[in-house]
Amino acid sequence: DTAVSQTPKYLVTQMGNDKSIKCEQNLGHDTMYWYKQDSKKFLKIMFSYNNKELIINETVPNRFSPKSPDKAHLNLHINSLELGDSAVYFCASSQYPFSGIYEQYFGPGTRLTVT
Amino acid sequence: QKEVEQDPGPLSVPEGAIVSLNCTYSNSAFQYFMWYRQYSRKGPELLMYTYSSGNKEDGRFTAQVDKSSKYISLFIRDSQPSDSATYLCAMSAEGNQFYFGTGTSLTVIP
């Protein structure tokens, strides 16, 4: 069974379109994240949700809107896509957000290409 | 200045070599230090973590943290072709937010 799954795996779309990426985890974790990895492999956190509540909201354009319908799901909707949005988007989850060491489990990534 | 600096490489070594990967950081509040391994077209997976300063060993892997110098290292002994991947360091102050390095691409040549 896949621990953290994302759909779609590849997404090619044109500038100006709106698209969504879905993420699901079956680990029973309380906290989920969205990361963006650029072409130089730099991994930067975008959002974090704990039990459906937004706890980290880094400086990202408000064209990006996360939505957590329940603690096992965290979706990312992107409006008015731009060329610079092309990257690999990773979803991750972890169990203990604020105490001690915890392991983040990453999904396989969604490779977004904006043309 | 980025929170975490990591030499992107690429690094290419022969099989059996000792590999040294390093990161420096600027935030003295960081207490949790992690190394992730990322194979091509896969998500990162946690390899090792340490808390505060000191060393930690796990098989062929050793993680070192020097908080006074704001410098962390990952050593891989007897490197294998299966170790070929990108290695990302990550750090956190109180476990609520990670800051990642840019990753070092490693190739171990048989």
Residues of B in contact with A106 (CB under 8 A): 43-45
Residue pLDDT, tens place only, A34-47: 999 988 778 888 98
In terms of phi and psi (left: phi > 0; alpha: psi -120 to 50; beta: otherwise), the region of B75 is beta
What is the three-class DSSP state of A85? helix
Q: What is the pLDDT of residue A96?
A: 64
Give residues with Cβ within 8 angstroms of B83, minimum separation 6. Answer: B19, B76, B106, B108
Cα separation, B110 vs B60, whole angstroms:
17
Angstroms from A109 CA to nearest CA on chain B? 6
Q: pLDDT 10s digit of each residue in chain B, 110 long?
A: 678 999 888 999 999 999 999 999 999 999 889 999 999 989 999 998 888 888 999 999 999 999 999 999 999 999 999 999 999 999 988 766 788 999 999 999 99
Residue pLDDT, tens place only, A57-108: 777 899 999 999 998 999 999 999 999 999 999 999 988 654 455 678 899 9
B51 inside 8 A of chain A by CB:
yes
Give the H/E segment covering residue A87: strand A87-94
Q: Do A42 and B95 touch (CB under 8 A)?
A: no
Quickly list DSSP for chain B.
Answer: --SEEE----EEEETT--EEEEEEE--TT--EEEEEEE-TTS--EEEEEEESSEEEEETTEEEEEETTTTEEEEEESS--GGG-EEEEEEEESSSS--EE---EEEEEE-
Residues of B in contact with A99 (CB under 8 A): 95
Residue pLDDT, tens place only, A7-55: 999 999 999 999 999 999 999 988 899 999 988 778 888 988 888 888 8
Integer angstrom CA distances of residue A44 from A61, A67, B90, B91: 14, 19, 11, 12
- Of A102, A39, A81, nearest to B86 (Cα)? A39
Rounded to a whole number of angstroms, the distance between the first and last alpha carbons of chain A is 34
